[in-house]
Amino acid sequence: MALVSGIITINSKNEFSTFKRMQVSDITDLLKLPKQLQYEIGIDQSTSCTGIYIQDTKNLVNILLELEYANKDKKDYFADIFYLIGSLVKGKTVNLIVCERPVPKDVGSYTYRVLTELFGKLEVYLEFNPDLAKTELQSIFHRLGNHELLIRVREPVVLIQN
């Protein structure tokens, strides 16, 4: 079981709403994205939680969710992540999904193992979800300490300096 906390902003109305530690099924019942908009999603995984950021391409709606790895059952946690993403994107147009790739193995073997497993499962899920069939999938490599991001877009690697 994962618990979800987050914030939703509606920029056209200058409004926001927050929520804390709700069940995934409760969030999916409450959170319905407008179908007429197109979306971009960012997924950031860690060993204790998964962050999901959703914005529409006109920047009217911004949603930041954190799924807390609550009961330490990986199978249920992965199922909750996939259920949440699937519920949010069902019948919507998602142009882009960006996932953070796991940290290098030398940072820590436990962290590397957990994040690699999660990234692999996410990658397979996103590729085979029919609502995401036309969605561009990208991944970001982060480099610790040097303010550089390595972005891999299924082909060459591009270096961005900040």
* Tens digits of residue pLDDT in 113-154: 777 888 888 888 888 888 888 888 887 776 544 444 444 333
CA 40, 44, 5, 28 torsion: positive or negative? positive
pLDDT recorded at residue 92: 93
Type of residue found at 11: N
Cβ proximity of 46 and 142 under 8 Å: no
Furthest-apart CA atoms within the chain: distance in Å: 46
Cβ proximity of 89 and 98 under 8 Å: no
Least-confidence region, from 6-15, 26-35, 148-157: 148-157
Selected residue with higher pLDDT from 33 and 142: 33
Helix (H, G, I), strand (E, B) or coil at 112: helix
pLDDT recorded at residue 154: 39
pLDDT recorded at residue 103: 67
CA gap 116, 106 in Å, rounded: 13
What is the pLDDT confidence band of residue 162, given thresholds at 50, 70 and 90? very low
